[in-house]
Homo-oligomer: A and B are copies of this chain.
Amino acid sequence: MIITVTLNAALDVTYRVPSLRPHATHRVVDTIERPGGKGLNVARVLAALGHRTAVTGFAGGPAGGELRRLLAAVPRADLLTDALVPIAGATRRTVGVVDIAGGDTTMFNEPGPTVGPAEWASFLDVYRGLLTSGDARGVALCGSLPPGLPVGAYAELVREARTAGVYVLLDTSGEPLRRGLAARPDLIKPNAEELTWLTGFSDPARAARDARRRGARAVAASLGAQGILALDETGGWQAAPPGSLSGNPTGAGDSAVAGLLSGLAEGLPWPERLARAVALSAATVVAPAAGEYDRETYEKLLPRVQVTAAAP
């Protein structure tokens, strides 16, 4: 089993409109709702890949109820365990308005509920229970922190995972990433911008080496069209997709996390884990629905991802 943690889950709503005109009234052509937040995206891809996954974090209010209902209806939902912790506040919605003529999206993200100390304590109980079930092969800690949680929340979750001996991947940004790093996660997956913010270096290889010095056992830096650069104590690898792809990058990083963790759970070596992460990420960019991956593209790209050695 793999655990995904989404402390600031969302109900992602997509509105398609013929053309977005500020100040006008738009009749929405159709509405799509899906469970959102980075850890939920990771969980959906893990289930599609055939991995049993426990989903935890917080859910509350009407959007939280809808999120749980939709989570139970995703493909291979039989592999997903809903371990979300109820909260008094209402789960946030994100509204993405797709301009059909222009082909791009305008996003409106609600701020999210405030999580209280008792709710955080309940979550920690559930989280410890999942870590010590004897069944956990890895945990992904994903996304932003909701209002009310301490900025060191991820550092605490990293420590709990290490105590339980469960491989822990941290995928967040800003101060929660900096604090979480100091607790020595097994892997972080920053993009180029996050890595530069964290280390002050704009060269990805140099920044990744610095991030390891700051506490990450391994770094997998997602570099957009250049693929993923990974470093750990045994070596370095650069995995690149075959040619450039156009589409919607929403969720591409989450698919990469699912690729890395599923590969780890299957005992694959780094080059194969990275090839899977890059192919899943690219297959997410080209998929028609934001945050989904196209299985046919994934299977076609997987053998064509080039993995080369890089300086560790």
Q: Which residues of B contact A24 (CB under 8 A)?
A: 106-107
Task: Given the known inter-chain contacts A62-B63, A62-B65, A95-B95, please indicate yes or no for A23 contacting B104, CB distance below 8 A.
Answer: yes
A-side interface residues, number (CB < 8 Å): 30
Copies of this protein chain in the complex? 2
- Within 8 Å by CB of A108, from B28, B63, B110, B111, lies B28
B99 touches A22 (CB 8 A): yes
Residues of A83-140 contacting chain B, CB below 8 A:
95, 97, 99, 102, 104-111
Name the residue on B nearest A95 (C-beta): B95
A17 touches B108 (CB 8 A): yes
Q: Which residues of B contact A30 (CB under 8 A)?
A: 111
A22 touches B22 (CB 8 A): yes
A106 touches B65 (CB 8 A): no
Q: Is A197 an interface residue (CB 8 A)?
A: no
Question: Complex: how many Å from CA A66 to CA B30?
Answer: 21
Q: Which residues of B contact A226 (CB under 8 A)?
A: none
Q: Is A213 an interface residue (CB 8 A)?
A: no
A106 touches B62 (CB 8 A): no
Question: Complex: how many Å from CA A29 to CA B108?
Answer: 10
Question: Complex: how many Å from CA A30 to CA B30?
Answer: 25
Q: Which residues of B contact A106 (CB under 8 A)?
A: 21-26
Closest CB-CB distance, A71 to chain B, in whole Å? 14
Residues of A24-39 contacting chain B, CB below 8 A:
24-31
Name the residue on B nearest A30 (C-beta): B111
B110 touches A31 (CB 8 A): yes
Residue among A22, A29, A107, A110 facing the most chain B CB atoms (10 A cut-off) = A22
Q: Which residues of B contact A111 (CB under 8 A)?
A: 27-31
Closest CB-CB distance, A53 to chain B, in whole Å? 25
Question: Complex: how many Å from CA A300 to CA B28?
Answer: 40
B23 touches A109 (CB 8 A): no
Q: Is A15 an interface residue (CB 8 A)?
A: yes
Q: Which residues of B contact A108 (CB under 8 A)?
A: 15, 17, 26, 28, 95, 97
Q: Is A264 an interface residue (CB 8 A)?
A: no
Mask: chain A, 233-261; 1 = CB below 8 Å from B; 0 = not? 00000000000000000000000000000
Interface residues of A (CB under 8 A from B): 15, 17, 20-31, 62-63, 65-66, 95, 97, 99, 102, 104-111
Residue pairs across A and B with Cβ atoms less than 8 A apart, 11 shown, are A15-B110, A17-B108, A23-B99, A23-B105, A25-B109, A26-B106, A26-B108, A27-B109, A28-B111, A30-B111, A95-B108
